[in-house]
């Protein structure tokens, strides 16, 4: 079973490769672009523990970036990145939008660093093959870009333990292949959109005091506005009754008064 799965994976990768390479080879700059991607990543990030010390640019042999720490390529002799895993490397600084130059990347894992700033809203729609994105346990802030929903192969999106604010983009909820999703421990607020994949559970949203709606508690502000609407309906419905009652009561009193004299 495992072997079959492995053979399948290799087969699919090879097919993808065969399909992709002809579209790539005419444009050498697409390979340059992966080098620029990594070069930008290195220059943007502070690396206090020198994990990126073997990221040395300027050796122009085929596939030289494939031996960089945390970098894997589609083929070891071809400068085209399939994954970057720099989890727990103590990296600091802002996320660079040049990551989009690693255009065929499948997996980007920067969990457990000290990345700060916001996520540029355009980059993720430029990474069509991304399957796994793990940016959990950093210091990222700002909004969750709605462009995540444009990544049709995105399967795992982990943004937990950051400082993201605003709402969860409703577009994300219809992301076709999203299976693993977590935004716990951020400062998100508002109604959780209805995920078409029903498997996203309570544990994906915890630690955001202002998030509400299924699978968390109902939104109190929607209850509040519903209460206001209900009160208005009641007022509208009972206003004529009140007027009539008042009028009847008055005329009743008026009729009674003479009798008492």
Ligand X SMILES: *[C@@H]1O[C@H](CO)[C@@H](O)[C@H](O)[C@H]1NC(C)=O
| Residues lying near ligand X in the complex (CB under 6 A) | 59, 61, 64, 67, 85, 87-88, 92, 109, 111, 114, 116, 125, 132, 134, 139, 146-147, 149-150, 156, 158, 171
Least distance (Å) from ligand X to the CB of residue 134?
4
- Eight-class DSSP state of 68: S
154, 177 Cβ separation under 8 angstroms? yes
Closest residue to ligand X in the complex (CB)? 87
| Closer of 116 and 118 to ligand X (Cβ) | 116
Least distance (Å) from ligand X to the CB of residue 60?
8
Main-chain phi, psi angles of 158, to 5 degrees: -115, 115
Residue 90's region, left for phi above 0, alpha for psi from -120 to 50, else beta, is: left
| Closer of 30 and 150 to ligand X (Cβ) | 150
* Torsion angle (degrees, nearest 10) of CA 182, 177, 148, 43: 80
| Closer of 151 and 212 to ligand X (Cβ) | 151
| Closer of 103 and 139 to ligand X (Cβ) | 139
Least distance (Å) from ligand X to the CB of residue 120?
12
Residue 132's region, left for phi above 0, alpha for psi from -120 to 50, else beta, is: beta
Question: How is residue 224 written in tokens?
Answer: 């509040």
Main-chain phi, psi angles of 230, to 5 degrees: -60, -45
| Closer of 149 and 208 to ligand X (Cβ) | 149
Least distance (Å) from ligand X to the CB of residue 91?
10
| Closer of 88 and 213 to ligand X (Cβ) | 88
Please tell me the distance from the alpha carbon of residue 81 to that of residue 63, in angstroms, as a whole number: 9
| CA proximity to 129, closest of 17, 232, 209 | 17
Least distance (Å) from ligand X to the CB of residue 228?
33
Least distance (Å) from ligand X to the CB of residue 111?
5
């Amino acid at each position: 079973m495992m072997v079959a799965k492995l053979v399948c994976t290799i087969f699919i990768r090879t097919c993808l490769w065969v399909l992709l390479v002809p579209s790539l080879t005419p444009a050498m700059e697409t390979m340059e672009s992966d080098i620029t991607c990594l070069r930008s990543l290195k220059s943007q990030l502070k690396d206090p523990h020198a994990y990126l010390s073997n990221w040395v640019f300027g050796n122009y042999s085929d596939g030289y970036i494939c031996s960089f720490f945390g970098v894997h390529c589609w083929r070891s002799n071809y400068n085209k990145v399939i994954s970057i895993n720099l989890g727990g490397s103590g990296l600091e600084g802002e996320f660079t939008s040049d990551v989009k130059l690693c255009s065929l990347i499948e997996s980007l894992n920067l969990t457990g660093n000290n990345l700060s700033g916001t996520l540029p809203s355009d980059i993720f729609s430029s990474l069509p093959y991304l399957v796994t994105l793990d940016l959990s346990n950093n210091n990222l802030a700002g909004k969750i870009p709605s462009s995540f929903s444009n990544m049709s192969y995105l399967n795992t999106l982990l943004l937990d333990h950051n400082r993201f604010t605003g709402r969860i983009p409703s577009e994300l909820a219809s992301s076709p292949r999203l299976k693993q999703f977590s935004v716990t421990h951020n400062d998100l607020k508002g109604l959780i959109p209805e995920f078409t994949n029903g498997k996203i559970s309570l544990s994906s949203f915890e630690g955001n005091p202002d998030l509400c709606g299924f699978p968390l508690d109902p939104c109190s502000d929607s209850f509040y506005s519903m209460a206001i609407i209900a009160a208005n309906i009641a007022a509208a419905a009972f206003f004529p009754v009140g007027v009539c009652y008042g009028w009847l009561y008055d005329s009743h009193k008026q009729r009674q008064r003479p009798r008492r004299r």
